[in-house]
Amino acid sequence: MRFSIRDIPFSCRGSWFGISPVIAENTVADDLHLVSHQTGMHPVLRFTPSEPAAVTATPALLSWDAGAGRIELAYTTPDTVRIRGDGLGLRIAAAAGTLTPFSGTYLYRDPAGGSAVFTSYETGRRYRVTVLSGSASVSGDEALGAAERAVTLPAGSWEVAIEEYGTGRPPYEAAATPDFAAFADAVAPWRSEHTPAAGLAAYVLWSATVAPAGFVTRPAVLMSKHWMDKVWSWDHCFTAMALAAGEPDLARDQFQLPFDHQDASGALPDSITHSEVLYNFVKPPIHGWALRRMMPADPAERASAYQRLVRWTRFWLDARRAPGEVLPHYTHGNDSGWDNATTFDGGRVIQSADLAAFLVLQLRCLAGMSAGDEAQEWERIAAEVRDAMIRDLWTGDRFEARDPRTGERRRSSSLLDLMPIVLGEELPEPIAARLAEQIETHLTGYGLATEPLDSPHHAADGYWRGPIWAPSTVLIEDGLRRAGFTALADEVSRRFRALCEKSGFAENFDARTGEGLRDRAYTWTAAAYLVLASDYETRRGAGPVLDRNEIGGR
């Protein structure tokens, strides 16, 4: 299974670094780099073969080929790679050339064994190059300022190990190679010729997983080992869902990670990465929806998830409802996850039907996890929010946003306004049918455009104003299916799966051409493919299901 190293970094589960030519947002270098994600995204070492070489990447091996010469690179542990060459030399140089008291990379020879050690101010880590066979020359040893710092392996036969670590470490010892195949077999045992991108989707998740460090309290699937190297507090729900059946412990960690940083109000942070936790925005409460799909069997896990979900729900009920209002509100598009959707063009502080629908599902989830009076109270609040959503935001034709301060309502053409389909069977039939009709108008040859192609606001690379996204696809597909519109749900799933099989796992996609946009190795896109592909394989074995249209629906 080969993949483009320009699209997907070569890495392994647990590692905080990858090998890639992508060294910053929308910046692709000529050479491959060791790029670390501790304290941010930082290119640390640059790999330059002694002559131009073609690069090939598979989950287990990265190689450079030039005529009769070849270099191979593989992980032996999450923080160590081994590189060997035969007939082709390699220069391993500091990516940052200037050393100041507060930036750059310093190189010295370790007195205990003679290894070359690069120390990076940007990552706060050391990178030790140990020669295992052959010979190497070192330039810039102990140099300051703008000197070049490099380890050079001449053409011939040679092998080195590169380790990322903190302040001290025993001499290098060989270790077993991480096993991607076992992960793929656990996460996607159902894969077949009908779901040909499942193996690569599993690799995207596996290779973007990091070990606990800094503010990352658990093993975590970053959204990417490119520049989107964070965990946002709704992205993690999709990766957890994709992992739940085959890697339940890792799935639990994905779901719980943002809750480890829940604040006193019950809010989850906007995002988490190695060295920062941001609270200036939140993300939508899809967590009850996700948890219902992957409910833990262990009573202790359920109890912990319940208590955390209660606090997150109370945040929306207590901190995000204006006096006298039943519906909660967003304060900015970023709160919704749809940062610049046209729903927010007329004002940022709004009550919206997607938020109400997510909260209803979360309240239903809490009711199902509790009993007696407590369960009844959750059910009462859920019904109250659902009824207010229909009363205050439904026009008879479409949901509109509402300013909670003035009562003014505003209409947009965003797919976000159709998200209440996620309520599925809980929606009144006429509303569900109308939403399904409107969802069809967003369906292009590649999937659901977030803004219709004929909208004056549509932009091919307009973020949430046109492109196709994974989370909206999964949420809407699930809602359509539960509402009984199985044929449309099947088509949404089919087109998105085909899109990923054609264009990979980009952050989002051009709705007209299917071209991948922005970050090209995005884990919630890979997770969405795995969720939809797994469900498809299950349906393929189970036979046809009646569509609502076939039983007297719309």
pLDDT digits (tens, 9 = 90+) for 182-226: 999 999 999 999 999 999 999 999 999 999 999 999 999 999 999
- Indicate if the pLDDT at residue 547 is higher than 80: no
531 vs 551, more confident: 531
Which structural domain range is residue 441 located in? Answer: 428-542
Q: What is the pLDDT of residues 46-63, one digit of tens each?
A: 999 999 999 999 999 999
Whole-number pLDDT of residue 553: 39
- The string of DSSP codes covering 125-176 is EEEEEEEEES--EEESTT--BT---EEEE-SSEEEEEEEEESS--PPP---P
Predicted local distance difference test score (pLDDT) of residue 550: 57
**Is 60 exceeded by the pLDDT of residue 552?**
no
What residues form DSSP beta bridges with 83?
73, 160
Cα–Cα distances (Å) from 16 to 240, 297, 352, 443, in that order, read 20, 31, 38, 38
Q: Report the C-alpha gap between 477 and 492 in whole angstroms.
A: 6
Q: Is residue 130 part of a domain?
A: yes
Q: Please state the domain count of the chain.
A: 2
On the question of pLDDT at 551 being above 80, the answer is no
Q: What percent of the chain has pLDDT over 70?
A: 98
Does residue 157 carry a pLDDT above 90? yes
In this prediction, residue 173 has a pLDDT band, given cuts at 50, 70 and 90, of confident
For the chain, the average pLDDT equals 96
Q: Is 62 helix (H, G, I), strand (E, B) or coil?
A: strand
Q: Which residue, among 427, 409, 406, has the nearest Cα to 418 in the 3D structure?
A: 427
333: in domain: no
pTM score, two decimals?
A: 0.95
- CB of 402 closer than 8 Å to CB of 408: yes
C-alpha pair distances (Å), 210 with each of 215, 328, 409: 12, 35, 44
pLDDT band at 471 (very low <50, low <70, confident <90, very high): very high
170 burial via Cβ count (<10 Å: 0-12, 13-18, 19+)? exposed
- Out of 165, 194, 213, a domain closes at 165
What share of the chain in percent tops pLDDT 90? 93
Residue 549 is predicted with a pLDDT of: 66
Q: What are phi and psi of 223, to 5 degrees?
A: -65, -25
pLDDT tens, residue by residue, 512-534: 999 999 999 999 999 999 999 99
Establish if 285 belongs to a structural domain.
no
Where residue 542 falls among pLDDT bands split at 50, 70, 90?
A: confident
pLDDT category of residue 144 using cuts at 50, 70 and 90: very high
In a domain, 258, yes or no: no
Span 257-305, pLDDT tens digits: 999 999 999 999 999 999 999 999 999 999 999 999 999 889 999 999 9
Residue 121's alpha-carbon distances to 39, 107, 149, 189, in angstroms, are 10, 12, 15, 43
- Decide if 551 is inside a domain: no
The answer as to whether 129 is a domain residue is yes
pLDDT at 227 over 90: yes
Give the contacts of 11 (CB within 8 A, at least 6 positions apart).
17, 18, 19, 75, 207, 208, 225
Instruction: Give the CA-trace dihedral at 276, 282, 288, 291, to 10 degrees.
Output: -20
Q: Which of 136, 165, 194 is the last residue of a domain?
A: 165
Give whole-number Cα distances, 89 to 72, 107, 378, in Å. 11, 20, 66
Question: What does DSSP assign to residue 426?
Answer: G
3-state helix vs strand vs coil in the chain, percent to 5:
35, 25, 40
* Edge-to-edge strand list for the sheet holding 231-232: 231-232, 271-273, 276-278
Q: How confident is the model at residue 554 (pLDDT cuts 50, 70, 90)?
A: very low
- Is 501 part of a structural domain of the chain? yes
Q: Return the pLDDT at 541.
A: 85
Domain end call among 165, 198, 213? 165
pLDDT category, 142, cuts 50, 70, 90? very high
Q: Could you tell me if residue 101 is inside a domain?
A: yes
